[in-house]
Amino acid sequence: MGSKNFTYEKSGVSIKKADKFIKFISSSTKKSKKSGKFKNIGGFGALTKLPSNLKNPYLVTSTDGVGTKIEVANMLGKFNTIGVDLVAMCVNDIIVQGAKPLVFLDYISVEKIDTKKLKNIIRGIIKGCKLADCELVGGETAEMPGTYSKGKFDIAGFSLGLVDKDKILLNKIKEKDLVLAIPSSGLHSNGYSLVRHIIKKNKINIKKNSFLKKELLVPTKIYVMHVLELIKKKYLNACANITGGGLKDNIERIIPDNYCAEINLEKIKTLKIFRWLKSQGVGDQEMLKTFNCGVGFCLIVKRSNYKKVIRLFPKKYKPYVIGKITKNSEKVKLSGKVIW
């Protein structure tokens, strides 16, 4: 048999493009105090120096993606914000334990390397890491022809944080504590399969709809710096990241046995995008189960700390009271109706 001259390039994988992309990431990230004299991007593994000020450190890890929000990014050809979403989805979970995010890694799998698209995604990841005060130390970009259809891709993130044992937010909730809502920036990265279903069924052209075009790719708010400041000042008893499952399911995860978070839904300050979704025929229960409805993050604080807490936030993200902690075997009790 004669030589067919098989190459990796002919199978649809470009090592040269991948190498150039790694060099771009490497030049876009700088050496930090965490990595010391080591440059991590492009190596086999990332080296990170542990902070020396922790007496009894615990590792906290989180991994996540951005779901089908990437399909909206593809529809609109806009890729500079979903990297922020990716970081947010991981680090907002880590701070719930009281931990400070230390490092972040990403995984991007694509049908074919599109350098412009990937650079925009990475720029978003770098911005997200800056907002979370953590370091992008590595990742993987996998070109996988035949696995994804043309132009399709997926992204995943992994974050590692540290917390001193005595600062872990666990079992600190007390009766009469207040439940505060921090506003979300929008949909964050949850419920997009339902959003896309509505858009498809109602034959909405989002490229021509200026409201949706703007709202659907608003990046997820990163709450790290605000929450870490509350922990530092010992104002926080517990907190919850409001993601898939909505208010009830996420708050339930942090409430100890025999305590209850009584939430008054009438107190929720909804955003325009949620009012639009409601107007498209989504029921109240479905809205509360699928979306954050305007509450991106919840804080549980001692009543006497309330005024001190709200002073630490800018006007747009100022927390407000939506409930209180009582003694009850039902962990979360919702009352009233959301005012859309």
CATH assignment of the domain containing 31: 3.30.1330.10
Rounded distance, CA 119 to CA 80, Å?
8
Structural domain includes residue 235: yes
The string of DSSP codes covering 68-86 is: THHHHHHHHT--SSHHHHH
CB count within 10 Å of CB 321 equals 15
Nearest to 124 by CA among 73, 194, 71, 185: 73
Structural domain includes residue 210: no
Rounded distance, CA 124 to CA 190, Å?
18
What is the amino acid identity at position 317? Y
Residues 182 and 140 in one domain: no
* Cα separations in angstroms, 262 against 195, 255, 321: 29, 11, 11
* pLDDT string in tens for the chain (340-residue length): 555 676 556 656 565 665 665 666 666 666 544 555 556 666 667 788 888 888 999 999 999 999 999 999 999 999 999 999 999 999 999 999 999 999 999 999 988 888 899 999 999 999 999 999 999 998 888 888 888 888 899 999 999 999 999 999 988 999 999 999 999 999 999 999 999 999 999 999 999 999 999 999 999 999 999 999 999 999 999 999 999 999 999 999 999 999 999 999 999 999 999 999 999 999 999 999 999 999 999 999 999 999 999 999 999 999 999 999 999 999 999 999 999 9
Residues 124 and 182 in one domain: no
Rounded distance, CA 337 to CA 60, Å?
36
- Identify any residues that bridge with 104 across adjacent strands, giving them in sequence order: 136, 159
Residues 100 and 34 in one domain: yes
Strand 153-164 with 178-183, pairing: unpaired
Phi-psi region of 188 (alpha: psi -120 to 50; beta: other; left: phi over 0): left
Structural domain includes residue 6: no
CATH assignment of the domain containing 266: 3.90.650.10
Residues 133 and 236 in one domain: no
Residues 108 and 127 in one domain: yes
What is the amino acid identity at position 287? M
Residues 277 and 298 in one domain: yes
What is the amino acid identity at position 330? E
Please tell me the total count of domains within the chain. Answer: 2
- Vertex 11: Cα angle to 10 and 13 (nearest 5): 90
Residues 143 and 23 in one domain: yes
- Structure-block tokens of residue 331: 């962990």
Nearest to 100 by CA among 206, 225, 250: 225
Structural domain includes residue 216: no
What is the amino acid identity at position 93? D
Rounded distance, CA 293 to CA 188, Å?
10
Rounded distance, CA 244 to CA 65, Å?
12
Place of tokens 């995604």: 121
Residues 301 and 258 in one domain: yes
Please report the pLDDT score of residue 140 as a whole number: 86
Rounded distance, CA 310 to CA 235, Å?
11
Contact 290, 242 (CB under 8 A): no
Structural domain includes residue 197: no
Rounded distance, CA 275 to CA 232, Å?
36
Please report the pLDDT score of residue 3 as a whole number: 57
Please report the pLDDT score of residue 37 as a whole number: 54
Residues 107 and 252 in one domain: no
Q: Residue 154's domain spans which residues?
A: 15-167
Structural domain includes residue 8: no
Please report the pLDDT score of residue 85 as a whole number: 98
Structural domain includes residue 198: no
Residues 151 and 117 in one domain: yes
> What is the enclosing helix (H) or strand (E) of 288?
helix 284-290
Residues 41 and 148 in one domain: yes
Structural domain includes residue 2: no
Residues 182 and 133 in one domain: no
